[in-house]
Amino acid sequence: MKIIFYFACFTIAFAQDFKTIFTAFVGSNWNDQEWFYSDIYGGIFGFCENEQLFGGHYVFGKNSLASRQFILPPHYYVKIQLRFWKIDSWDGEVFQLIADQKVYSRQFWPNEGGDFCGRGKKGNNDLLVNIEVSIEHNSQLFALIMTSNLDEHAYYVQVVFRQQESWGINWFELSILECFLGCLSCEDSTSSCLIWSSLASYWQTQMSDDGWLTNGGQIGGSNICGGLLIVGGTSILMQGQSLEKTLKDLPIHYLIKFVFKIWAIGEWEYEKLELQVDNQVWMSESIQNNNPVPFDCGIKQKVSIVNTHTINNHTQNEMNIVIKSNQSSQKPAFWVIQSLDIYIAECSIGCQECFGTEPTMCTKCIKKWGFYQNQCIIAPPIECANVRIVQFKDQNINNPDTFQITIDEVNQNSIDKGQQKLFVSSSISTLTFKFW
């Protein structure tokens, strides 16, 4: 009984609920202004089984696509929930939902479901499916792209007897597991995330090159892929090319963290994309693009999204960053870094070198600072913990002012009057003088 009690306490202490960040297409919330959609037929909203849909019968069909990009607060897990409606004569075709690196896809068939809102003929059944996608995720940006490989339009005016194929969604919800209060980035609910501060962020909302170079020249521009704006991509940043930038005057630190989102466009068959920092490989990701449904990304092609992060030791005051891919074939393949966040774990004030953010984790102080009680403090000109002065008169010595100074750290004694110079190693931050 005691074991069960302790286990229950442990579970309650560490359980965390999902926090809803965004809802759409439910109740009175039918604002579509920040959604991108293309190749629609008629109005943007339809109905099925007396329920309003984003898309729906005679709305979303062949080549239709809906997408949106979200900027999220610090988190480590994302959950997407929605109701998907397959309408009419799907004959083995696929609905595809890209939720960043997680892809949901399903084939549908004509006789699945019942007659709810479509043409109402045999082989034109409609089906409601509740979809839930959960992924580990800690990038600020979250991309959502929905499409299908339907080969028939949602609505024909001239050929009314022809079968149509449609789809739509409603009851959309995005929720997250948040980082602890005050954290800018985290990997889970237990990691020490308060150490991170933001060093740089690229391509979250601004699409400029920000000083990045590709193979020695400026990035060739931006692109629209699945309705979302990206830097690089088709015919701009090709497989085998690289991005490079040098950051200077970094604050004193001991760790660097990269969080970035890669879009692999076209034919990727386990080619590698690498992150190099100061000529050292920090991350290597093997990418395969096997998503079933291509869509418009400059030209119609397959797209795969990869989120990755890496944490490494780093102490230099500047950092050369190279992101590059290898090319193993002549097939058309492109890539882009859609977002890149760089975080830094800084040493405490006064530290020159450290192994953590706490003041007691310094191993070396900056100039004119010294160790006191295991911390770096501004060093005063002279600090004496104890001073004892004894005056005596030795009958055998003519000089009544005999004295001696001992310096413990350098094992040196002095009995000479006047100004003296003492050279001490820079590794010694504190000197203890004893006078007698």
Q: Which domains does the chain have, with CATH numbers?
A: 18-178 (2.60.120), 196-346 (2.60.120.260), 380-435 (no CATH)
Q: What is the pLDDT of residue 119?
A: 65
Query: Residue 409 — very low, low, confident or very high, per pLDDT cuts 50/70/90?
Result: low
Q: Say which residue, 73 or 423, is predicted with more confidence.
A: 73
Check if the beta carbon of residue 263 is closer than 8 Å to that of residue 303. yes
Check if the beta carbon of residue 252 is closer than 8 Å to that of residue 376. no
Work out the mean pLDDT of the chain and round it to a whole number: 82
Angstrom CA distances, 44 to 95, 171, 234, stand at 18, 16, 29
Q: Which amino acid is at 236?
A: I
Q: Say which residue, 60 or 57, is predicted with more confidence.
A: 60
Q: What is the pLDDT of residue 12?
A: 38
Instruction: Please provide the DSSP assignment of 388-401 as one string.
Output: -------TT-S-TT
Check if the beta carbon of residue 321 is closer than 8 Å to that of residue 277. yes
Q: What is the pLDDT of residue 123?
A: 64
Mean pLDDT of 338-357: 91
Is a pLDDT exceeding 50 seen at residue 316?
yes
Is a pLDDT exceeding 90 seen at residue 79?
yes
Q: What is the pLDDT of residue 1?
A: 40
Mean pLDDT of 204-214: 72
Q: What is the pLDDT of residue 209?
A: 65
Instruction: Please provide the DSSP assignment of 297-354 as one string.
Output: ESEEE-EEEEEEEEEEE---S-EEEEEEE---SSS-EEEEEEEEEEEEEEPPTTEEEE
Angstrom CA distances, 92 to 112, 116, 319, 365, stand at 11, 20, 51, 68
Mean pLDDT of 20-30: 94
Mean pLDDT of 54-65: 91
Q: Say which residue, 42 or 318, is predicted with more confidence.
A: 318
Q: What is the pLDDT of residues 364-376, one digit of tens each?
A: 998 888 888 888 8
Q: What is the pLDDT of residues 220-243, one digit of tens each?
A: 567 888 888 887 777 788 888 888
Query: Residue 407 — very low, low, confident or very high, per pLDDT cuts 50/70/90?
Result: low
How far apart, in whole angstroms, are the C-alpha atoms of residue 35 and residue 204?
Answer: 17
Q: What is the pLDDT of residues 104-126, one digit of tens each?
A: 999 999 888 888 886 666 667 89
How far apart, in whole angstroms, are the C-alpha atoms of residue 352 and residue 336?
Answer: 37
Q: What is the pLDDT of residue 373?
A: 80
Task: Name the one residue in this structure whose structure tokens are 């479509």.
Answer: 118
Is a pLDDT exceeding 60 seen at residue 5?
no
Q: Is the pTM of this model over 0.75?
A: yes
